């Protein structure tokens, strides 16, 4: 196992609910300017080489918070791993993801905060979407808070004087499927669960109800390579008022079991399709939120000073624009965008051939790079510029982002040791400068897909028709990310250092 970090878990028990964290009905979804939200996005995680990625999540409120933590792989943002945190008031949870020598990817924590399912130190990523999951991005989504702090889930998630929660087994019992009040424990709907406690050897069922948890989450991350003596980190991108009600789901079954209240939800377009609106991704696409047309930041390729830079450009939520059953019929590899990518005759024996167009994403996104040095010089002469003849007109540096998470390498080596990079030649006769990237979605229908609004019994003959992709995507392609700098001293790795600088964006080319 790679080098780990010391957890910094903090917890305090406070009874009163602070009014400042109460949900705001019908509030406008926005990128937070105060580093707090009900959704947080970590633009990049990596387990490549000797890198580990750590995450800190803080519940800054006096309310218990139920939180979905999900890793999405870089290739196509499939759900590589997810679980729930049940955080008592003012709790902090920490963990890190790393690659093991046997090829496994593990999530590790020494924290005692309750989780569902219960994690005792380490959990290994399932092989289902392990391929391509060495890197990706992380979603942290608030699912709701108990309506009262006297409810059993809040009581049992709270840390005792011994420094551990009272009863995480009882807390986890809320997250089984098909709960029925007074009959069986588990999730009932987006606002209600049933908890099982064993009292004096006998089962006792209690009902917990939930409300919006407000913008109470603070999330930060670090990316560390101790062998190279390199570490950098930042706050996550926080979104406020993503939704104004609870989005509770079970952690037992998923959509491919036909469970529309399962662990696939909530995601970046909403909660359970049975109970909540499912078109929230268009809110994130708004150019006042995450939708962008240009990305700007510094770059450097300065071997004389041991400096390299990588850009990370992440397009969160593209999975909401995939007909997932049809897409996964291809084996989960990235198909030709906008193509017919599901054929029932190849995956369901004895069924007639059915072709389903499954991909209505923004990808591939065209990226037009324009770089400057620090003296305002650019590789492409502007209109009316004088040249020494003969001269070939400057050509724009155009590439395509094919993946949900893209690493752009400016120098001779990748700072992040990324397995897949987009190499860019600045075209500028200088070792450093800044760049603007104009981005545009592919040409064609851009649609958000939707699941049925009721759970169902899976039927192989209908598998390719479960989803419909018919909600027109509005706004612009959502993008987040940063530039990662490395200053490398080969003769003295202990002196190496790095930093992260978030991208800037505009909404006009």
- Asked if residue 88 belongs to a domain, the reply is yes
* Domain co-membership, 304 together with 404: yes
pLDDT confidence of 463, banded at 50, 70, 90? low
Q: Is the pLDDT of residue 461 over 80?
A: no
Residues spanned by the domain of 80: 19-252
Overall number of domains in the chain: 2
Is residue 257 one of the residues assigned to a domain?
no
Q: Which of 168-182, 222-236, 291-305 has the highest mean pLDDT?
A: 168-182
Please, what is the average pLDDT of the chain?
86
Angle at CA of residue 85, ends 81 and 86, nearest 5°: 160
Q: How far apart are the C-alpha atoms of 370 and 392, rounded to whole Å? A: 17
Q: How far apart are CA 108 and CA 122, in angstroms?
A: 4
Residues 394 and 381 sit within 8 Å (Cβ to Cβ): yes
Give 222's strand partners: 54, 233
Its pTM surpasses 0.85: yes
- Is 274 a domain residue? no
User: In this predicted structure, what is the pLDDT of residue 407?
Assistant: 97
Domain end marker among 194, 226, 252: 252
Mean pLDDT of all residues in 224-241 = 94
Q: Is residue 364 part of a domain?
A: yes
Judgement on whether residues 248 and 305 belong to the same structural domain of the protein: no
**227 and 317 both lie in a single domain:** no
Do 246 and 332 share a structural domain? no
Residue 333 has pLDDT above 80, yes or no: no
90 belongs to a structural domain: yes
Residues 338 and 426 grouped into a single domain: yes
247 with 125, same domain: the answer is yes
Nearest 5°: phi and psi at 70? -140, 130
Give tens-digit pLDDT for 132-186.
Answer: 899 999 999 999 999 999 999 999 999 999 999 999 999 999 999 999 999 999 9
Query: Can you list the positions of beta strands (E) in 237-345?
Result: 237-240, 294-302, 307-314, 340-343
- The answer to whether residues 246 and 381 belong to one domain is no
**Environment class of 421 (CB within 10 Å of its CB; exposed 0-12, middle 13-18, buried 19+):** middle
Q: Where does a domain end: 218, 252, 286? A: 252
pLDDT tens-digit map of 267-289: 999 999 999 888 999 999 999 99
Indicate whether 206 and 92 sit together in one domain.
yes
pLDDT score at 262: 97
Please give the helix or strand (H or E) that residue 170 lies within, else none: helix 168-172
The pLDDT value given to residue 464: 64
Pick from 110-119, 347-356, 448-457 the range whose average pLDDT is largest.
110-119
- Residue 280, in any domain of the structure: no
In a domain, 273, yes or no: no
Q: Which of 193, 218, 252 is the last residue of a domain?
A: 252
Q: How confident is the model at residue 388 (pLDDT cuts 50, 70, 90)?
A: very low
The answer on pLDDT for 220 being more than 50 is yes
How far is it, in rounded angstroms, from Cα 280 to Cα 274? 15
Do 92 and 237 lie in one domain? The reply is: yes
Residue 206 and residue 324 in one domain: no
- 377 band by pLDDT with thresholds 50, 70 and 90: low
Least confident of 97-111, 210-224, 381-395, 457-471: 381-395
Give percent above pLDDT 90 in the chain.
67
DSSP code, position 282: H
Rounded Cα–Cα distance for residues 15 and 202 (Å): 28
Query: Residues 246, 320: one domain?
Result: no
Q: What is the DSSP letter of 161?
A: T
Higher-confidence residue: 19 or 412?
Answer: 412
Of the pLDDT bands very low, low, confident and very high (cuts 50, 70, 90), residue 380 is very low
In a domain, 287, yes or no: no
Residue 353, pLDDT score: 53
198 & 306 share domain: no
- 481 or 303: whose pLDDT is higher? 481
Could you give phi then psi for residue 317, rounded to 5 degrees?
85, 5
Q: How far apart are the first and last CA of the chain?
A: 45
């Amino acid at each position: 196992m790679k080098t780990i970090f010391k957890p910094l878990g903090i917890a305090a028990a406070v009874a009163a609910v602070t009014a400042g964290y109460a949900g705001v009905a019908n509030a406008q979804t926005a990128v937070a300017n105060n580093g707090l939200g009900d959704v947080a996005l970590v633009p990049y995680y990596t387990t490549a080489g000797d890198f580990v990625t750590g995450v800190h999540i803080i519940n800054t409120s006096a309310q218990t918070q139920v939180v979905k933590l999900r890793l999405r792989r870089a290739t196509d943002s499939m759900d590589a791993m997810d679980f729930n945190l049940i955080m008592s008031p003012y709790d902090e949870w920490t963990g890190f993801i790393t690659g093991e020598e046997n090829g496994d990817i593990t999530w590790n924590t020494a924290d005692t905060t309750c989780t569902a399912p219960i994690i005792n130190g380490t959990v290994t990523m399932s092989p289902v979407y392990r391929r391509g999951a060495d890197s990706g991005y992380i979603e942290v989504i608030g699912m709701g808070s108990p309506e009262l702090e006297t409810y059993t889930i809040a009581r049992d998630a709270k840390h005792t004087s011994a420094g551990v929660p009272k009863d995480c087994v009882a807390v986890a019992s809320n997250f089984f499927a098909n709960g029925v009040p007074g009959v069986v424990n588990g999730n009932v709907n987006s606002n209600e669960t049933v908890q099982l406690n064993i009292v004096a050897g006998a089962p006792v069922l209690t009902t917990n109800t939930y409300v919006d948890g407000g913008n109470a989450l603070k999330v930060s991350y670090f990316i560390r390579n101790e062998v190279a003596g390199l570490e950098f980190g930042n706050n996550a991108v926080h979104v406020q008022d993503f939704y104004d009600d609870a989005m509770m789901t079970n952690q037992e079954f998923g959509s491919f079991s036909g469970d529309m209240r399962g662990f696939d939800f909530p995601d970046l377009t909403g909660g359970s399709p049975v109970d909540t609106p499912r078109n929230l991704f268009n809110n994130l696409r708004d150019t006042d939120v995450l939708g962008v047309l240009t990305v700007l930041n510094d770059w450097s390729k300065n071997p004389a000073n041991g400096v390299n830079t990588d850009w990370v450009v992440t397009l969160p939520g593209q999975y909401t624009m995939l007909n997932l059953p049809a897409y996964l019929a291809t084996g989960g590899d990235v198909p030709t965008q906008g193509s017919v990518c599901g054929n029932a005759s190849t995956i369901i024996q004895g069924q007639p051939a059915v072709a389903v167009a499954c991909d209505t994403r923004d990808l591939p996104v065209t990226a037009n790079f324009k770089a400057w040095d620090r003296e305002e010089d650019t590789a492409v002469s502007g209109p009316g510029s004088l040249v020494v003849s003969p001269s070939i007109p400057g050509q724009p540096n155009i590439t395509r982002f094919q993946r949900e998470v893209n690493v752009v390498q400016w120098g001779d080596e990748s700072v992040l040791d990324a397995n897949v990079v987009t190499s860019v030649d600045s075209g500028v006769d200088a070792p450093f400068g800044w760049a603007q990237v104009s981005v545009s979605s592919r040409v064609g229908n851009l649609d958000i897909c939707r699941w049925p609004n009721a759970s169902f019994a899976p039927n192989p003959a209908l598998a390719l028709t479960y989803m419909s992709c018919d909600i027109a995507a509005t706004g612009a392609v959502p993008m987040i990310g940063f530039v990662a700098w490395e200053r490398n001293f080969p003769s003295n790795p202990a002196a190496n250092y790095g930093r992260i600088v978030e991208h800037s964006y505009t909404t006009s080319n």
